[in-house]
Amino acid sequence: MNEGKEKSGFLRLLELAGKKKTKLVAACALSVLSSAAKLVPYFTIYGIIVTMLGSYNDISGMDKNRIMLFTGITFAAALVYGICAYSSSALAHTAAYDIIYELRIRLLGKLGKLPSGFFTGKTQGGIKKILSDDTEQVEIFVAHHLCDIASSIATPVFTLIYLFVMDWRLALITLVPIIISLVLLTLCLVRPDKASLQIEMHDSQEAMQGTIVQYIHGMPVIKIFNRSLAAFRRYEGDINRFVSAVDKTARANAWPMSAYYVFFGAQLLFLLPSSAWILSRAESYIDYLPVALLFLLVGTGLREPMENMMQMVILSGRITEGVKRMDGILKTPELVCGGCNMPGSFDIEISGVSYSYTPGIKAVNNVNCTLGQGTITGLAGPSGGGKSTLAALLLRFFDPDNGVIKIGGTDLRDFSAETLSNLVSYVFQESVIFHDTVENNIRMGNKEASMEQVIEAAKAAEIHDVIMALPNGYKSVIGGDGAFLSGGEQQRLSIARVFLRNTPIVILDEATAYADAENEAKIQNAFARMAKDKTVLIIAHRLKTIEKADQILIMKDGHLLDCGKHMELLARCNEYKEMVDANERRNNWTIKGMESKV
Amino acid sequence: MRHFKEWFKTMTLGQTKKYLQLLLWCLFDSFVVSIPYAVMVLAVYVLLMPIASPEISLPADRIWILTGILVVQAIAYLFIRKKSYLDFCIGFAGTTKTSRIEMGEHLRKLSMGFFSSRDAGDLSTVLLRDYTEIETFAQQILPQAATVLIRFTLAIIALSAFNIKMMAAVFAVIPLSLPFALLSMKRMEKEGAELQQAQQEAASGILEYVGGIRTLKAFNMAGGHFETLKTTLDNQRKASINIETKAALPVSMLGRFTLNCGISVVMLTGTFLMINNELPPFYFIAFLLLTLTIYDPVLSLFTFIADLSRTTRSGRRIRSLFEEKPLQEPSVSAVSKSSDIEFKNVSFGYGNKEVLHDISLSFPAKTVTALVGPSGSGKSTITRLIARFWDADSGEILFGGVPVKELKTEDLIGNISMVFQDVYLFQDTVEANIKMGKSDASREEVVEAAKRACCHDFIMALPDGYNTMIGEGGSTLSGGEKQRISIARALLKDASVILLDEATSSLDPENEVLIQHAISELVADKTVIVIAHRLQSVCNADQIVVLQDGKIAEQGTHQQLLTSDGLYTKLWKEQNHAGSWRIRE
């Protein structure tokens, strides 16, 4: 990408179009040609009339060959028009879909290279919108508008030049109504009170859309609280507000816009008297008459391409927004990876690490600690305290703002992406299962694994029996083949993946286990197996889980408050004691109050 | 014809009359726009007069009359266009508005079950995109159709007065080009189906990729998976290009060519007739001039026709929403005597799949009943049937001794509060969100409810306290905070029956303790039906109902169930074991 000047909107789009530029230029040229061919009949009819004029009162003496020539030209022009219009559109569409395809591939490829943290705080829907909808906008623009713009500008311009050569006076007259209508249109768009109407229209439209979405999404709540009438009133009110904004804007613009249309169609009104006037003063009536007829004809033919041109100018502004959103992805810096291979040991050393999502608020604040190879570290603390951010930093979802994280003495940033993914693994809370066979889903962990290893991993994750009960066993396609897995089963399948990966460091989130009460014990068993002989960091919600851990880290407000064994912390850390107490209370709560404890 | 009528009704959002009015005005507008073309023909005639009879000079008065007509036309058109412009901006917006509001009123009456079984995103797409689609389409096609109609009618009348044979020549190409338009439409349907398939695959491929990107990256698989997606996208690209190159070919190239050949056909026929003295020279010129304005609107119409199927789909989606039937409601509500709830031999299924089989249960007033069992056993279906999301397929559900069908929805729902896991907050102030429970509540009542639901402290810490905007564009609340707001709502509503779905999603212990505290406030002295995930929290419920595969497996108090040593005992042991789990023993 070129440094320095940032291109935007249309120019940036052409830049993104890259190699397809030639196709686009050809498409535009063909489009200009086709609209020129469309104007040909105006000239041939003019030619025929002139031919007839020579022998108007004695048609038999008319130059028939000339008329046949014009007929032939008209026919050829129809052919050229059909061919050019079609090939222009075909070329433009092909180029457009090629561009979209390449853009999508580039965007998707880029997504694969962005730090995982990029996706935090972004909805899948939002990213999908950029990939599908915004790129489609490019199609509409490239395939339709671009060529239309070219032809709708070129045609009137060439025609006007021709008219000026024929007779500059009448050409000027032809321009008069066009100029008046342009002035009217500009007035309409630029006046400040009109601008405020536009803003109100835009705002009320947004409000209406928001209300509609809430009306639908909130309907269960609305109904439960018997508030549907009130909600409906608001829904109705916002729709009315939008329509009345449309109404107001339309009324404010009605006169100038109508005048704009009237003048646009009024060429004849200006041309007829002036050409008659010039004719009456012409040296030879019969010599000048053809010129007058030409203007009457072509002048009226000019209206449509001019109208198109106006629309195109308005449309071309729309592309900017979508291009900007795509650049939001394309221009986000990628993580730079070093080339270091597996380290000799798997100690994790976190020194002076800070990270902020929003400037000024540190989610992790100057944390220092060491996780020894083969030890289990528990991570506890209130939600929002920075536990998951610390884990995300270990996985290099982000790079720390300050400080450094080292594995076996090497900075995370110096590992190659592949090495890092072979070093650390993580069981995500939301299990992602791909539309593929069970086997391939597990194999994601390690492409080269033997079938025995796959089965072994499935057994370790306590999912083997479930798989064997599926219609095609390991070959069943999940989601098809009648192979459906419950939430907990999907979770265990994704744990099997991690088993197969067999990395020396694992990060676990205990919440994963009890997202599904029925599978809780099974997932716990799998976790316990996974933790053997590894460097483990476990984010704990139930403190019992980490009672026997080698060390427990307490995080609150981004700070590492304390670090030690269970007994040590009980003795010295107030926060820990309070947490243990809250745990206790939570576990003993019953819906009917405390009086009848079991 | 009936088919067309039905279609027309769909596409006009049921407001056929209004649309016909708009169409009528469009016709009038097109008529007035066509006047200058007639004037042009006359002007040419006048200008040719000195040629036709060399003895006379240009009749200036006639030119002035024609100019006068044009001036009058322009002034008249200014007014006509103003109304057309307003019709266009407001008229169509008005029809959409009317239908949207009707839709809102209709949706309001549909059952809760409808909303829980349909994707809210899809429904909003209908209300937003499909309506806009129809509006835009009508805005484009109506004037286009009007222009075609008017120009044809005028041309047929005027031209047949001149010469029938020439008229035939002018219109000959239109039936010839029609098959190309139809062929395109057919091809479009076929290729369109393929494209749709490719689009769906690409869309779900993209979604899978974006949704799974972190996992893919964690396993260093982003590249490999990317290859599959690349093929899918390439298929979509090819299918899209096919539509534009193959399907569009007949209408875009041949249709265009045929139509524009019309002019040369007129030239040829005219010359021939003129030489045979069947056509005066001026008539020939008139024909030539008028043919110029005939073919373009037809071509535009063809292009719209190709687009028709997409818009028709939008129209159908809107209509099918209107066709959803609300549950039957009695006009007068029966009087329920208490908040006892009873199921008598209730069976219920979603579609063909029965999920509850012959359930008989009673939930006495002011007792706590816990529903326990594996997912899919029918626990939440039971609570939803009580709130009349749907009606039971067979059997009866009684509320205070009265069948729920005989209660008006507002009376039934007025007695029930539901606290579920997925909390929906409106883009409004905190206070307004809590006030959902009771619209006329005073600020004191709101604060009181918030305090009891353990919300007050975090609300006061928000930038504008109770007046803070929440939801999109406002402050964001954590999952635990949202749940407590929903409990505050329910507290304010103070219904006699509480349906509760105990959260499974994990919160930190402090947050959970607060929620538990709020729930304790809510359920005191009420008829409570709770879907329980952690057995510990319901072990002192008045009755525990263990469900399995839509049937009652066991029923009784905690102690009774433990002695019977069935499914409950198994679940209880498992959970106790899991609760004391340590990652390392």
**Cα separation of B133 and B130, whole Å?**
5
DSSP B441: -
Boundaries of domain holding A101: 1-151+317-334
Q: Do residue A71 and residue B264 have CB atoms under 8 angstroms apart?
A: yes
Selection from A315, A222, A388, A286 nearest residue A53 by Cα: A286
The tokens describing A64, both together, are 């028939």
User: Kindly report the CA angle at B347 between B344 and B350, in degrees rounded to 5?
Assistant: 145
User: Kindly report the CA angle at A322 between A316 and A327, in degrees rounded to 5?
Assistant: 125
Q: Do residue B97 and residue A435 have CB atoms under 8 angstroms apart?
A: no
**Cβ B558 vs Cβ B539: under 8 Å:** yes
Q: In which element (H, E) is residue B267 found?
A: helix B256-275
Chain B residues whose beta carbon lies within 8 Å of the beta carbon of residue A124: 207, 210-211
Same-domain check for residues A326 and A379: no
**Cβ A518 vs Cβ B504: under 8 Å:** no
User: Which CATH fold topology does B341-579 show?
Assistant: Rossmann fold (3.40.50)
A195 in a structural domain: no
Same-domain check for residues A326 and A398: no
Out of A279, A302, A334, a domain closes at A334
Q: Is A46 helix (H, G, I), strand (E, B) or coil?
A: helix
Domain count, chain A: 2
How close A130 comes to chain B (CA, Å)?
11
Task: Tell me the residues of chain B between 234 and 253 that have a Cβ less than 8 Å away from chain A.
Answer: 234, 236-237, 240-241, 244-245, 248-249, 252-253
- The strand order across the sheet containing A535-539 reads A424-426, A505-509, A535-539, A376-380, A551-556, A559-564
Cross-chain CB nearest to B93 (options A216, A243, A547): A243
Give the alpha-carbon dihedral of A213, A214, A218, A223, to 10 degrees: -100
Same-domain check for residues A541 and A409: yes
Chain B residues whose beta carbon lies within 8 Å of the beta carbon of residue A83: 253, 257
Return all residues near A325 (Cβ < 8 A) that are at least 6 apart: A130, A134
**Cβ B346 vs Cβ B386: under 8 Å:** no
| Residues with pLDDT less than 70, chain B | 1, 223-224, 306-307, 471-475, 503-506, 585
Q: What CATH number is attached to the domain comprising A383?
A: 3.40.50.300
Helix boundaries (H) for B126-163: 131-162
A391 in a structural domain: yes
Q: Do residue A272 and residue B208 have CB atoms under 8 angstroms apart?
A: no
- 């070219």: which residue's tokens? A150
Same-domain check for residues A392 and A329: no
Cross-chain CB nearest to B585 (options A72, A296, A548): A548
Same-domain check for residues A400 and A492: yes
Residue A595 is predicted with a pLDDT of 45
How close A422 comes to chain B (CA, Å)?
8
Q: Do residue A108 and residue B206 have CB atoms under 8 angstroms apart?
A: yes
Q: What is the DSSP string of B187-229?
A: HHHHHHHHHHHHHHHHHHHHHHHHHHHHHHHHTT-HHHHHHHH
Q: Does A425 touch chain B (CB under 8 A)?
A: yes
- 């279609």: which residue's tokens? B7
Selection from B204, B205, B194, B197 nearest residue B242 by Cα: B194
Chain A residues whose beta carbon lies within 8 Å of the beta carbon of residue B48: 53, 56, 289
| Residues with pLDDT less than 70, chain A | 1-6, 8-10, 120-125, 189, 311-322, 481-482, 513-518, 593-598
Same-domain check for residues A567 and A435: yes
Selection from A399, A367, A400, A396 nearest residue A381 by Cα: A367
A594 in a structural domain: no
A546 in a structural domain: yes
Interface test with A, best of B80, B106, B506 (most A CBs within 10 A): B506
The one-letter code for the residue type at A368 is: N
Q: Does A105 touch chain B (CB under 8 A)?
A: yes
Out of A334, A369, A394, a domain closes at A334
Cross-chain CB nearest to A97 (options B237, B368, B584): B237
The tokens describing A484, both together, are 């459906």
Same-domain check for residues A570 and A477: yes
Nearest CA in chain A to B420: A221
A229 in a structural domain: no
Residue A2 is predicted with a pLDDT of 40
Same-domain check for residues A435 and A527: yes
Q: Does A503 touch chain B (CB under 8 A)?
A: no
Sign of CA dihedral A230, A236, A239, A245: negative
* pLDDT digits 0-9 by tens, A190-205: 777 777 887 888 888 8
Interface test with A, best of B583, B584, B585 (most A CBs within 10 A): B583
Residue B425 is predicted with a pLDDT of 82
Cross-chain CB nearest to B292 (options A41, A289, A541): A41
Q: A2: exposed, middle or buried (C-beta count within 10 Å: 0-12, 13-18, 19+)?
A: exposed
How close B262 comes to chain A (CA, Å)?
9
Nearest CA in chain B to A243: B93
Nearest CA in chain A to B44: A293
Q: Does B439 touch chain A (CB under 8 A)?
A: yes
Largest CA distance in chain B: 126
Helix boundaries (H) for A191-284: 192-217, 219-224, 228-264, 267-281
**Cβ B384 vs Cβ A190: under 8 Å:** no
Nearest CA in chain B to A541: B508
Cross-chain CB nearest to B245 (options A77, A93, A108): A93
How close A393 comes to chain B (CA, Å)?
13
Give the alpha-carbon dihedral of B67, B72, B75, B80, to 10 degrees: -130
Task: Tell me the residues of chain B between 23 and 62 that have a Cβ less than 8 Å away from chain A.
Answer: 33, 36-37, 39-40, 43-44, 47-48, 50-52, 57-58, 60
Interface test with B, best of A133, A197, A216 (most B CBs within 10 A): A216
Return all residues near B3 (Cβ < 8 A) that are at least 6 apart: none
**Do strands B353-363 and B394-399 pair parallel, antiparallel, or not at all (unpaired)?**
unpaired
Nearest CA in chain A to B207: A128
Q: Is A30 helix (H, G, I), strand (E, B) or coil?
A: helix
Task: Tell me the residues of chain A between 109 and 168 that have a Cβ less than 8 Å away from chain B.
Answer: 109, 111-113, 116, 119, 124, 127-128, 131-132, 139, 143
The tokens describing A509, both together, are 């989130």
A192 in a structural domain: no
Nearest CA in chain A to B515: A586
**Cα separation of B531 and B500, whole Å?**
6
Out of A309, A334, A359, a domain closes at A334
Interface test with A, best of B33, B254, B264, B493 (most A CBs within 10 A): B264
Same-domain check for residues A323 and A461: no
**Cβ A228 vs Cβ B120: under 8 Å:** no
Q: Do residue B261 and residue A75 have CB atoms under 8 angstroms apart?
A: yes
Same-domain check for residues A359 and A404: yes
Could you tell me which residues are beta bridge partners of residue A225?
none
Same-domain check for residues A328 and A368: no
A454 in a structural domain: yes
C-beta neighbour count of B31 within 10 angstroms: 17
* pLDDT digits 0-9 by tens, B315-329: 888 999 999 888 888
How close A13 comes to chain B (CA, Å)?
19
**Cα separation of A550 and A486, whole Å?**
34
Q: CA B90 from chain center: how many Å?
A: 22
Cross-chain CB nearest to A81 (options B214, B260, B508): B260
Q: Do residue B74 and residue A257 have CB atoms under 8 angstroms apart?
A: no
Task: Tell me the residues of chain B between 533 and 562 that have a Cβ less than 8 Å away from chain A.
Answer: 533-534, 536-542, 558
Return all residues near A448 (Cβ < 8 A) that are at least 6 apart: none
A47 in a structural domain: yes
Same-domain check for residues A324 and A437: no
Q: What is the DSSP string of A331-368?
A: TSPPPP---B---S---EEEEEEEEEEETTEEEEEEEE
Q: Do residue B116 and residue A230 have CB atoms under 8 angstroms apart?
A: no
Q: Do residue B107 and residue A215 have CB atoms under 8 angstroms apart?
A: yes
**Cβ A466 vs Cβ A458: under 8 Å:** no
The tokens describing B446, both together, are 């709101």
**Cβ B70 vs Cβ B39: under 8 Å:** yes
Q: What CATH number is attached to the domain comprising A146?
A: 1.20.1560.10
**Cα separation of A15 and A94, whole Å?**
17
